[in-house]
Structure 1
Amino acid sequence: MEVITGGGPGPVVTEANGRRAVYFLVPAGSTVGRPWPVGVTTLNAAVGRIGYVLIPALAGRTWPLAWHFPPTVPGGFVHALLLLNAAWVLLG
């Protein structure tokens, strides 16, 4: 994602313990109805589902969460279709 976007894929949060998850922050609803590969868990607030991601502070200690790529512009997100294609290449 970093290479495809020229170094700015959008906000990405990593988790340093447990399952060491990586959270790509995408616009609300942008993962619904898309065929994600096995190994991807989408967190949606769609009907019948509740999803949330803890967000670390921009500065200071927030272990086990950290910004891999912090937000750079207000309202900026990871491009869901680029993420979908990258997920299929890596996991599909």
Structure 2
Amino acid sequence: MSLDKATVAKVANLARIRIEEDDLEPMAAELNNILGWVEQLAEVDTENVEPMTSVAEMRLRWREDVVSDGGYVEDIVANAPSGEDGYFGVPKVIE
């Protein structure tokens, strides 16, 4: 894929980036180089490569998935200007 000055100007306009007229040609060349590198990456055979999250072998620590209220209801509601039965009290809003 090759970008020309008109395409670069259109993309810059869509991205709300101001590029001077004399900077369009160098920007087009730079973007064409970047797109060339992306095309090279698409040619790499990754068929037998396992997905990874890091270059170092790491295992995530697992914990038991338990649903709880956190046990801090009283402490949290104590910071509220008004609270009742473990809930925040808020003023009534009517529009």
| TM-score past 0.5 threshold | no
TM-score range, shorter chain: under 0.3
Highest CA radius of gyration, 1 or 2? 2
Which structure features the higher share of strand residues? 1
